[in-house]
Amino acid sequence: MSHDAFRRLAVADRILAQPDLVTDGAWPRTCTWLIRLALEHGLDDFWAAGRRDVARASRRAQLLTLTRTVDDDLGHRATALWHALSRAAHHHAYELAPTGAELRSWHTEVLGVTRALHERTPRPVS
In this prediction, residue 124 carries a pLDDT of: 64
pLDDT digits (tens, 9 = 90+) for 15-49: 999 998 988 788 999 999 999 999 999 999 999 88
Instruction: Quote the crossing angle between the two packed helices 27-50 and 3-17, to the nearest 10°.
Output: 160
Distance CA 101, CA 66 (A): 27
**pTM of the predicted model as reported, rounded to 2 decimal places:** 0.90
Q: How far from the centroid of its chain's Cα atoms is residue 112's Cα?
A: 10
In this prediction, residue 2 carries a pLDDT of: 60
Closest CA to 62 of 106, 4, 70: 70
Query: Per-block average pLDDT, block size 10, for the chain (126 residues)?
Result: 84 94 88 96 90 89 89 93 94 84 97 92 65
